[in-house]
Structure 1
Amino acid sequence: MISRRDFLNGAPIAIGAAMTPGLLTACAETGVTDTFALPSGYYPPTKTGLRGSHDGSWEPMHDVVSGITIEHGAPEDDYDLIVVGAGMSGLAAAWFYRDARPDARILILDNHDDFGGHAKRNEFDVGGKFRLGYGGTEAIDTPSHYPDEAKRLLQEIGIEVDRFYTYFDQEFWDREGLSKSILFDAETFGTTKLVPGYGSRPWADFAADMPVSDQAKQEFIRLQTSTEDYIPDLSTDEKYEILRKTSYEDFLRNYARAPEEVINIYKRWGMSFWCVGIDEIPATLIQNYDGGMPGVTHTLPRTGTRNDDPYIFHFPDGNASIARLMVRSMIPDAMPGSTMEDVVLAKADYTALDRPDQAVRIRLNSTAVKMNNLRDGVVMTYMRDGKQHTVRAAHMVMAGYNMALPYLCDELPETQREALLSVPKIPLVYTKVAVPDWRRFKEIGTDFVYYTDGFFKQVEFAYPVSIGGYDAVGSPDEPLVLHMCHVPWVPDTKGPAQWREGRMRILGTPFETFEGHVKHQLSQALADYDFDPERDISAITVNRWPHGYAYSSELIWEPDYADEEDKPWVIGRKPVGRIHVANSDAGAKADTGVAMGQAHRAITEILTSA
């Protein structure tokens, strides 16, 4: 039998070992449709502690990958469409199908105790004050670049993105005198020191406070202020061809002539975005990244392909509000209200998600473990509360983790199986820390601390959004939700292998370890401001995502493909009979617009094949 560790490392496994006792419990009686109701008071957004891929959400699938044999039982119910995954893409797939066929019966399954996938809503009560956080997908990033079908979906569920120009306080940072800070670590720089004002103070003033040599200070200033083209004799296209295969670290060292002391500042700067160190981020990606990474701009000017829009299209719970609006559109009783504004404070009725008399049903705590084609449809078996259930449908959309498909369906061609296994998701952890006030940050003049070598790469404020009667960032004396991001850094391992190793690390890390790092790192940043973590932290929610962001195809190791059809995620999303593949994985980009676009493609395949 293959161990769970092998699954975490991405080893290909044949499903065929003996069934462990208890996994296959007798099916529910045929025709029983009311056994899935959630109890009164069921409300997962208020849960704290270890969330995200919480215990109970991952074990059944890992048992399957470990080699347990699954046999389908007699179908208990029949649907027009089954969707596996109630995240952005799964909900969008159900929405697009229902839009085309309003009377269709749709079952949406998810292995977690809440819908939304990585768009997770975290709620807090801080001294009687209500606060929200995003446990995953945080924004409608660059909506002008969304595919038309995703734009239409947003509009149809009531989202007018232009309203965020009013709701998002773009003057907040200047008005409050807040900017980025760097916390230098003692092991690398000889002392632990917080230096505020990155990007807001004159660079010479900021450099004067840095714990580096005088030469490094001067080189830091030069790097920040120089308008030099470091590859002056080549055309833009020629420079692009060189720099797309040159890491940002090598660019700083070999082209911008930055000393190692300066390079060490930026080693982990892009970890929360690309989830690798700067030794694996192409310099061309820095070209269009508005994140304070210097040196590339005057060598390779911006092309405007990313970040054309301001980064303001954000609900206080991130894209969880988008998921809630999609649910409202399909199951109105589950989400009171009627606007994009009132959904922010609406309390979902989870008991309305899975009622026998409604056309669309969302079934939580349900893990798909086997799917196959029939002559005239599909059959799927899932585990819920330790019991096996089997359902049938005319069509199915796999909108969960694409790499799981080879273990769920034994009908895949070998080329498709290999392609899916080659593109793992990226592990990361979004930790939310509720604090009773943010006076200490105000005194420092910072809303964002970057740690040069911390377990958490950063701590930052909630975004300043006021919508629907909710104010995410009030006065310094009011409660605030801080965001801390952890990505396991495995500097000695390169390429996708580091993400396989990282997911094993995340899944094996207990809540107490995350909690300890939260307290330690906040104490470091606020050391001179009377911060007591036992007194000044109200709650912690750790959103653990061993299978987090979709595979990134932008990094230094990605080969050049002859054409689109050669890309493994394109091979991996091909339909298998009546089983169609959605999810942001199918577009190799952790982006809500991509997730919706892939859902639309999968539904279009179904509609045009009927």
Structure 2
Amino acid sequence: MSRKTTVSTPAITRRDFINGVLVSGATGIMEGQARAAGTAGIAPPARTGMRGSHPGAFEAAHALRDGTVPAHRIRKTGEVYDLVIVGGGLSGLSAAHFFRKYAGADKKILIIDNHDDFGGHAKRNEFSVDGARMVLNGGTLEVESPERYNQWARMILDDIGVDLDRYLKENAPNESLYSSHGMGPGLFFDQETWHADTLVRSAVGTENCLNAHALQHAPLSRHARADLMRLLSARQPDYLHGRSVAEKKKFLASISYPDYLSNWAKVDPSILWFFRKAGSGVFCVGSDTLPALFAWTLGLPGFSGLGLGDVPEGLLADLPGGQHGRQKESGHSVHFPDGNATLARLLVASLIPAATKAHTQEDMATATFDYAALDRARSNVRLRLGSMVMNVAHDGAPDQARQVSVLYTAAGDGSPTQYHQVQARQVVMACWNMFIPYLVPTLPETQKKALAYGVKGPIVYVNVALRNWRAFEKLGVSEIRCPGMYFDEISLAEPAALGGLSLPSDPDRPIVIRMIKTFSVPGLSKREQYRAARGMLLGISFETFEHEIRNQLQRVLGAGGFDATRDIAAITVNRWPHGYAYTYNSLYDPAEWVFTETQTRPCVVGRQLFGRIAIANSDAAASPHTDAAFLEAHRAVTELLDAGQYPFVPTVPGNAADTHTNEGKM
């Protein structure tokens, strides 16, 4: 190959790159350099500071702006794999699991990920404070709606040894930990809105503070209090009188929840403050993008007089995830101490046994992993961290090529001087949909457009290790909503125990608390708000986050004796500029995308097999849930196998053979 030969990468405009792909800026690079020495020798889960999409994970993506990669910088490693997987999150790990299960455990698999840890959004944060070892999820929170898990997701759980029933039974006594201390939910009224900082707490045993008992101390005018109590009443007027139930539902799907409250329920304007972030924990944005129909199905107040009946049972129940806003909520969810990082750790332990001596569900609580063992030549499955894939291309026409070339470089190098190329018989793209068109520039334009449609929702999970939780107990709160403040909510870690990990029952012992931040830019569409929020998030330094964390905790908990200087032991900011998968929304998307399983949805068009390249991720299901990641991994792998590359795919009783071709049988 001539030294002048180049490997083409897609043209990317400055705006596309900043708003649609990735950006770190000088702030992120400097943070990464400043902390590099401090993280050496520390296992990735125990690293504090800026985590999630951390500095050093994506700077190399800037090289894509140049449009080409000089051939003299490419080193062909000589490695040839049966399958290369781009992305080491839950979808990528489960794709490796399914491929080994179906094609054979002797097959050679390489998983490439740009982060320094595996699991994707299913990240684990660890802390050691005053002799106590604590963990909390840094991203993916829980196994949601497990009774609705598709058969492939259930298969994964069974194969890696997850026993949710056993876990729930063992944790049943822990559920009353906070209530046994007289603690319940709280609501914080900020002085910027209400002239004085005021913490209001609900009675023990209640699920939220929107009730008469809690609101008797709220700083509301007489008129506003009456309006809010009317909104919470089970006997409200019919604000949409004269319409049929079908007409009401159709209308509610077309207006936002704040619009409904203001113009139809006609509540005092100050009441909208209570609901400004309604649904943000699911949709990563403010309530101005929440359809009123979604608000009804989520159980938000204001609909009792409309005669809408019960939320339909089983509506779109075959789609993955909780499908918030589109069907009745399921009974329960399951939270491991580190969230779904437990699942990622079990998958890696199964794929690469040499990486850890731990193998059971309970083992994962305190398991240590040998990261050097993840990428050893003698292993049939290799996991290569800290590596940014730059280009994926068939070696010839997609319908005739026998191999695919995968080009990657060190993720933390903003101006790469060396690129590495491996060969694969097949590839699974288990990374973000919106990034795939830039990595596979030969994709059909229609497919590229579909992949780019679903903009991911930015979100921040901050985990703060405290030396004690006396202030929470004194104030009688275990979780606090803060609609007007920098962080939307503050909560003590879920009272969960697993293996050698348990939450302290003594408030004088250390604990981890979670703070969540989402962004909203009212006036823009949901997708445009996500793009704007991403730019905002990536411009925030760790120092700014730390200042806001300390300030908010001091204001909210100070009356309970909290001292931010004394009581905060460590801070981990899990920054996810590309967080939750985009879900369809009836305010902005066609109704058939939202309420049916039509093949015209961008997630379906975008995930089509392209030669020897298949696509697997939660984006491909337009659902940010773990079972979506598992489902799409199974589809991607079986698409490749069904293309004739390997002799057989084991059948599973039922409609298993059709699940990857018939959307209605998911």
1:576 alignment partner in structure 2: 610
Supply the distance in 1 between the matched residues of 2:100 and 2:130 (Cα, whole angstroms): 43
Matches within 5 A, 1:116-515: 116-168=119-171, 169-197=174-202, 199=206, 203-228=211-236, 229-231=238-240, 233-289=242-298, 293-297=300-304, 299=306, 300=308, 301-304=310-313, 305-311=327-333, 313-374=334-395, 375-384=401-410, 386=416, 387-515=418-546
Q: Does the Cα contact within 8 Å between 1:120 and 1:320 map onto a contact in 2?
A: yes
Distance in 1 separating the partners of 2:542 and 2:440: 34
Distance 1:65 1:566, change over 3 A: farther
User: Could you give the per-residue CA deviations for residues 54-90 of structure 1, whole angstroms, max 9, x where no partner exists?
Assistant: 1111111232145344656535200000000000100
Following the alignment from structure 2 to structure 1, what is the Cα–Cα distance between the partners of residues 193 and 40? Answer: 53
Structure 2 distance, partners of 1:74, 1:355, is 18
Partner residue of 2:583?
Answer: 552
Runs of 4+ in 1 over 6 A off after TM superposition: none
Contact 1:433 / 1:540 at 8 angstroms: preserved in 2? yes
> Residues 602, 539 of structure 1: CA spacing in aligned structure 2 closer, same or farther, 3 A cutoff?
same
Report the identity percentage.
39
Partners of 1:574 and 1:70 in 2: CA distance: 30
Q: Hey, what's the Cα distance between the residues in 1 that align with 2:268 and 2:18? A: 38
Please name the residue that 2:55 is paired with.
55
Shift in CA distance, 64/140, structure 1 to aligned 2, threshold 3 Å: same
Name the CA distance, whole Å, in 1 between partners of 2:13 and 2:611. 31
1:507 offset after TM fit, Å?
1.3
Letter in 2 for 1:121: R
Q: Deviation at 1:205?
A: 3.6
User: In structure 2, the residue corresponding to 1:521 is in which secondary structure?
Assistant: helix
Conserved 8 A contact 1:121-1:317: yes
- 1:138 is paired with a residue whose SS is coil
Residue 106 in structure 1 maps to residue 137 in structure 2:
no
Q: Partner of 2:289: helix, strand, or coil? A: coil
Alpha carbons 1:369, 1:382 under 8 Å: kept = yes
Amino acid at match of 1:184: F
- Greater helix percent: which structure? 2
How much has 1:426 moved relative to structure 2? 1.0
Alpha-carbon distance in structure 2 between the residues aligned to 1:388 and 1:73:
6
Counterpart Cα distance in 2 of 1:5 and 1:531: 44
Tell me, in whole angstroms, the C-alpha distance in 2 between the residues paired with 1:516 and 1:266. 26
Q: Distance in 1 between matches of 2:288 and 2:70?
A: 43
Distance in 1 (CA, whole Å) between partners of 2:192 and 2:509 is 35
- Give the Å deviation of 1:484: 0.6
Give the C-alpha shift of residue 176 in structure 1: 2.8
Q: TM-score under structure 1 normalisation?
A: 0.91
Q: 1:197-244 CA deviation, whole Å, 9 max, x = no partner?
A: 175679334222111211111111221223335445545433322212
**Most deviating of 92-101 and 300-309:** 300-309
Question: Aligned to 1:87, which of 89, 92, 106?
Answer: 89
Q: Deviations over 1:473-504 (max 9, x none)?
A: 43212211111111122224332011111111
User: Cα distance, 1:423 vs. partner?
Assistant: 1.5
- Secondary structure at 2:118 match in 1: coil
Range 520-529 or range 90-99, more displaced: 520-529
CA distance in 2, matches of 1:555, 1:445: 39
State the 1:357 CA deviation. 0.4
Could you tell me how far 1:173 is from its partner in structure 2? 4.1
Q: Residue 187 of structure 2 aligns to which amino acid in structure 1? A: I
* Partner in structure 1 of residue 659 of structure 2: none
How far apart are residue 306 of structure 1 and its match? Answer: 4.2
- What is the CA–CA distance in structure 2 between the aligned matches of 1:534 and 1:328, rounded to whole Å? 39
1:536 maps to amino acid: D
Larger mean Cα displacement after TM superposition, 347-356 or 266-275: 266-275
The CA deviation string for residues 540-598 of structure 1, in whole angstroms up to 9 with x for no partner, is 00011111111121352122348722211211111221111010011111100001000
Aligned partner (choices 514, 517, 524) of residue 555 of structure 2: 524
Give the unaligned 5+ runs of structure 1.
Answer: 13-38
Q: What residue is the counterpart of 2:19 in the other structure? A: 9
**What's the CA shift string for 1:100-131, capped at 9, x where partnerless?**
12211000000000000011110001111101
Going from structure 1 to structure 2, the CA distance change for 1:486 and 1:11 (only over 3 Å counts) comes to: closer
Task: Mark the CA change 1:167 to 1:504 in structure 2 (over 3 Å): closer, same or farther.
Answer: farther
Which is further off, 41-50 or 435-444?
Answer: 41-50
Q: Could you tell me how far apart the structure 1 residues matched to 2:542 and 2:608 are?
A: 39
Q: Which amino acid aligns with 2:382?
A: R
Partners of 1:537 and 1:70 in 2: how far apart?
Answer: 49
2:269 and 2:378 map into 1 onto residues whose CA distance is: 65
CA contact (8 A) 1:465 1:473 kept: no
Mean CA deviation greater in 558-567 or 266-275: 558-567
- Range with bigger deviation, 483-492 or 586-595: 483-492
Query: Which range moves more in the overlay, 408-417 or 118-127?
Result: 408-417
TM-superposition CA deviations, 1:376-418 (whole Å, max 9, x none): 0211000026431100011000001111111111211111111
Q: Is the 8 A contact 1:110 1:365 kept in 2?
A: yes
- Output the CA distance in 1 between the equivalents of 2:543 and 2:569: 15
Report the secondary structure of 2:202's partner residue.
strand
Residues 131 and 481 of structure 1 are in contact (CA less than 8 Å); yes or no, is this contact kept in structure 2? Answer: yes
In the alignment, is the contact (CA less than 8 A) between 1:462 and 1:473 conserved in 2? Answer: no
Matches of 1:323 and 1:535, distance apart in 2:
35
Describe the SS at the equivalent of 1:405.
helix
Contact 2:462 2:574 in 1 (8 A): yes
Report matched runs for 1:14-53 at 5 Å. 41=41, 43-53=43-53
Aligned length: 581
Give the distance between the partners of 2:61 and 2:176, measured in 1 at CA. 46
8 A contact 2:393–2:405 mirrored in 1: yes
Tell me, what secondary structure is at the counterpart of 2:640? Answer: helix
Query: Does structure 2 conserve the Cα–Cα contact (< 8 Å) formed by 1:286 and 1:296?
Result: no
- Name the counterpart of 1:607: 641
Does the aligned pair in 2 maintain the 1:7–1:66 contact within 8 Å? no
Q: Distance in 2 between matches of 1:459 and 1:363?
A: 35
1:269–1:523 distance in 2 versus 1, CA, 3 Å? farther
What corresponds to 2:323 in structure 1?
none
SS at match of 1:119: coil
In structure 2, relative to structure 1, the CA distance for the partners of 1:3 and 1:54 (3 Å cut) is: farther
- Name which of structure 1's ranges 452-461 and 177-186 shifts more when overlaid on structure 2: 177-186
